[in-house]
Structure 1
């Protein structure tokens, strides 16, 4: 055989785990525009700033007015700023997967050594981490500010822990739903519009029906209706399992233990279902 001078690679074979970590880190960096153009950094950094600004204001008010508690509970912060979280998800979920579908680069990922499960796990974990950073950083600001204001260490630490658990579940749920929607189409614009529509329409519909139930004093129904929207699902879960104050009319969270169990099963089921749908989706597109 003619030797044309190419040398064989004789270095270390880093394998699937290294490829999976690399895909995760690059996807996480990409969610905030790191390693990309300056234009790609503008929106995620603005949204991060918008998420943190109210926390900084609340801390300043608490410190300088000697308040005996924070103006908002840790578990309520993400619910109040749900619009910002939705915009971040809508802008970054399609960025994570739609371009790979559009330019048909997924077969390159799956050629060797990475597999479909690695790709889905890395993308899901990266977007979940990006959302968690977006929602947990303001809670950290509130916690540090509360300690500076000399509020009860035990009370603030417990509230901060509950808030972190709430935003972790929110991040898992939102990331799964956003990635499933974004993976349906290679067109980023369609993905952005679809994600915003799903979150806004479901929340609007649930809120409207809850308002009707409240007007009819049917408070028992209000708690059940929260299952049908991602943000109200998290709100109901945190109010039942973590003792948080619900944003539902009359603070009508899940009305009983059965409803609370339904909220828990809904969160777990949707997260698992989204992961399964992503695996099914990438079994179909991996070789095309």
Structure 2
């Protein structure tokens, strides 16, 4: 409302004049990086986050402790091999991940929910899709990041074993072949464990539920399969033992590497799958679970943010 003596539309006498402030807004003239860069950035961020990098100090404690728990046994095995002048490592490369499966389970159970559950809980997932990134990019980046983090966790101790074996002057050809088989087994295990864990973690936005669900699945299935295999061994049903390994993620890896890589099996009373058909079924089952978990993640994220 105009004051007495003032003209409508004009400032009254003594009032400061209107000023347009230049706050420096400029048009963006740089390159448009697009989907590939967004996918790469999401992968890098998720991979770093799996080891607590770029997060608070307490977030680094558990991953680094688990890395140490994976590497210390390898250092001890190398020391024993060198100082006792052994001609072979005390533990095969392919057996290392099976023996230390508990450490791997704790790592994936703690990091899979950290990767996806927080985005769901705080409803930040739609923000990713508001950028030039599709749902397949999000799922692929998260899957690849956790799989690579797991592969690093399992491959580093194998590298320690390999370098130690060469320093101990063990056979180069034999050690290189065993090391390559161990890396292949670790790669398949990483893809398998990452897929299963991400599906469980993506079901609930509660990180604690995701952690408990992942640990329960890996521990219960392995315990149940091992128990039933023990019973079958007591009844001398050795062919049944080989087939039972299909029902647990870690025994799937064990059966695969026993049949295709010539590894020593951890199955009681049986040397892995009973025949070539069973060995092929193990391979198909692993590949089917990897593809199936990726498909389930795509299905889960079709409705997120809509």
- TM-score, normalising length from structure 1? 0.98
Shift in Å, 1:10: 1.4
Paired position in structure 2 for 1:164: 183
Distance in 1 of aligned mates of 2:22 and 2:209: 48
- Asked whether the 8 Å contact 1:245–1:251 carries over to 2, the reply is no
In terms of Rg, which structure is larger?
2
Which residue does the alignment assign to 2:10? none
> Relative CO higher for 1 or 2, CA cutoff 8 Å, sep ≥ 6?
1
What RMSD, in angstroms, separates the aligned Cα atoms of the two structures?
1.1
- The residue that corresponds to 2:46 in the other structure is 27
Q: Which residue of 1 aligns with 2:297?
A: 278
Counterpart mapping for 1:129-278 below 5 A:
129-278=148-297
Report if the CA contact (8 A) 2:39-2:133 is conserved. Answer: yes
Q: In proportion to residue count, which structure has more helix?
A: 1
2:100 aligned with 1:81:
yes
Question: Following the alignment from structure 2 to structure 1, what is the Cα–Cα distance between the partners of residues 89 and 26?
Answer: 65
Report the Cα distance in structure 2 between the residues aligned to 1:49 and 1:206, rounded to whole angstroms.
29
- Measure how far apart 1:252 and its partner are: 2.7
User: Within 1, Cα distance between the matches of 2:252 and 2:244?
Assistant: 9
Which range moves more in the overlay, 15-24 or 247-256? 247-256
Distance 1:64 1:26 in 2: 42
| CA deviations over 1:124-153 (Å, ceiling 9, x no partner) | 000000000000000000000000000000
CA distance in 2, matches of 1:255, 1:116: 41
Shift of 1:250: 2.2
Q: Which residue does the alignment assign to 2:8? A: none
**Partner of 2:303: helix, strand, or coil?**
helix
Paired residues of 2:181 and 2:261 also in contact (CA < 8 A): yes
Distance of 2:22 and 2:138 partners within structure 1: 36
Contact persistence 2:117–2:202 (CA under 8 A): yes
Cα distance change of structure 1 residues 251 and 218 upon mapping to structure 2, 3 Å threshold:
closer
Cα drift, residue 3 of structure 1: 10
Residue 133 (structure 2) pairs with residue 106 (structure 1): no
Aligned-residue offset at 1:268: 0.4
SS of aligned partner of 2:52: coil
Q: Displacement of 1:8 after TM fit?
A: 1.8
- Long gaps (5+) in structure 1: none
The 5 Å alignment of 1:14-93 reads 14-93=33-112
Contact kept? 1:220, 1:252, Cα under 8 Å: no
**5+ long unaligned stretches in structure 2:** 1-19
Q: 2: CA distance between counterparts of 1:50 and 1:114?
A: 37
TM-score by length of 2: 0.92
Contact conserved, 1:116 with 1:286, CA < 8 A, in 2?
A: no
Q: CA deviation at 1:4?
A: 7.3
Could you list the per-position Cα deviations for residues 174-193 of structure 1 after superposition, in whole angstroms to 9, with x for gaps in the alignment? 00000000000000000000
